[in-house]
């Protein structure tokens, strides 16, 4: 089985935010929530880079470790999903996640913020694949249709890569070797305990 990962090649990202928009539209993500966002580091300074970030679907996911009701599960593809049925909206996963992925539909104290929402790697939730029930809670299930996440699929510069971790790592490594530089596989060390050495 593939081990799905995201990789953002910051040396290619032009901060167009198409990935952010594509995600919001594809899954009809509620107001106030952005499952993906683009962060610009060293904005306006030499060496500025933009990184598109969402849930990284971590190895030994910290969110899953702290959830008091154990609502996370990792799929065979290595995607970290959760059940909104079980979630109590306590906020613990938000404080455990190194990437700020978990978010809540309402801004108030924890307990009345509603069920946690985050990137599903376009692969829905525990409900049956490609059903209306799944769509309403989690959005579309592109993986079940044999497609990769939309954000990466429609990235115009192919900065954002999604797919099997080994394959996208190879692509990135080749790019770094060819062009002679690379600012790093953002988030990999923190999410997967390893980075890509060119």
Partner 1 sequence: MTSRAFAAAMVALFAAVALLFSAMPETMAQQVTPTASSVQEDELLRALQTGENVSGRVSIPDRQAGELIKPDNKGWADLSQGTLQTFAVGILVVALIGLALFYFIRGRIALEGGFSGRSILRFGWFERLAHWMLASTFIVLALTGLNLVIGRAVILPIVGENAFGTLSSWGKIAHNYLAWPFMISLAIVFVLWIVHNIPGRIDLEWIKQGGGFMKKGVHPPAKKFNAGQKIVFWCVVLGGAAMSYTGVMLLFPHLAGTGADWQFYQVVHAVVAGLLSAVILGHIYIGTLGMEGAFDAMGKGEVDENWAEQHHSLWAREVKSAAVSPAKSDEAIAPAE
Ranges within 97-156 binding partner 1 (CB under 8 A): 97-100, 109-111
* Binding at 41: pick from ligand SF4, ligand HEM, partner 1, none (beta carbon under 5-8 Å per type): partner 1
Residue 54 contacts partner 1 per CB under 8 A: no
Among 33, 39, 90, 148, interactor with ligand HEM by CB under 6 A: 90
Ranges within 81-100 binding ligand SF4 (CB under 6 A): 82, 87-93, 97, 99
Ranges within 100-119 binding ligand SF4 (CB under 6 A): 101-102, 116, 118
Among 3, 59, 62, 198, interactor with partner 1 by CB under 8 A: 62
Q: Which CB atom, from 89 or from 163, has the smaller least distance to ligand SF4?
A: 89
Going residue by residue from 7 to 36, which x/- string records binding to partner 1, judged by CB under 8 A? ---xx---x-x--x-----------x-x--
Is residue 20 helix, strand or coil? helix
Residue 24 contacts ligand SF4 per CB under 6 A: no
51 has which bridge partners? Answer: 39
Burial class of residue 168 in the structure, from the number of CB atoms within 10 Å of its CB (0-12 exposed, 13-18 middle, 19+ buried) = buried
* Binding at 49: pick from ligand HEM, partner 1, ligand SF4, none (beta carbon under 5-8 Å per type): partner 1
DSSP string, 80-138: EEE-TTT----SHHHHH-TT---B-SS-SSTTSS-S-B---TTB--SSPTT-HHHHHHH
Going residue by residue from 115 to 154, which x/- string records binding to ligand SF4, judged by CB under 6 A? -x-x------------------------------------
Phi and psi at residue 6, in whole multiples of 5°? -110, 150
* Binding at 57: pick from partner 1, ligand SF4, ligand HEM, none (beta carbon under 5-8 Å per type): ligand SF4
Cα dist from 49 to 11, 76, 150, 192, whole Å = 7, 33, 22, 22
Exposure letters 3-22 (e unless 16+ CB within 10 A, then b): bbbbbbbbbbbebeebbbeb
Residue 53 contacts ligand SF4 per CB under 6 A: no
Cα dist from 178 to 6, 108, 163, 181, 191, whole Å = 21, 49, 21, 8, 26
The binding site for ligand HEM (CB under 6 A) comprises 90, 110-111
């Amino acid at each position: 089985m593939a081990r799905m990962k995201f990789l953002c090649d910051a040396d290619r990202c032009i901060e167009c935010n198409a990935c952010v928009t594509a995600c919001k539209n594809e899954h009809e993500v509620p107001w106030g929530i952005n499952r993906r966002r683009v962060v610009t580091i060293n904005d306006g300074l030499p060496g500025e880079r933009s990184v598109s970030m969402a849930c990284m679907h971590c190895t030994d996911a910290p969110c899953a470790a702290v959830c008091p009701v154990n609502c996370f599960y990792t799929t065979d593809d290595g995607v970290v999903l959760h059940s909104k049925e079980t979630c109590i909206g306590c906020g613990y996963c938000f404080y455990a996640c190194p990437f700020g992925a978990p978010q809540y539909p309402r801004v108030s104290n924890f307990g009345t913020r509603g069920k946690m929402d985050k990137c599903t790697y376009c692969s829905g939730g525990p409900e049956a694949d490609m059903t209306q029930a799944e769509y309403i809670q989690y959005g579309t299930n592109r993986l079940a249709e044999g497609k990769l996440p939309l954000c990466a699929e429609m990235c115009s510069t192919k900065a954002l890569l999604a797919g099997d971790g080994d394959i996208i790592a190879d692509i990135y490594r080749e790019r770094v070797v060819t062009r002679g530089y690379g600012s790093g596989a953002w988030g990999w060390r923190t999410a997967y305990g390893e980075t890509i050495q060119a």
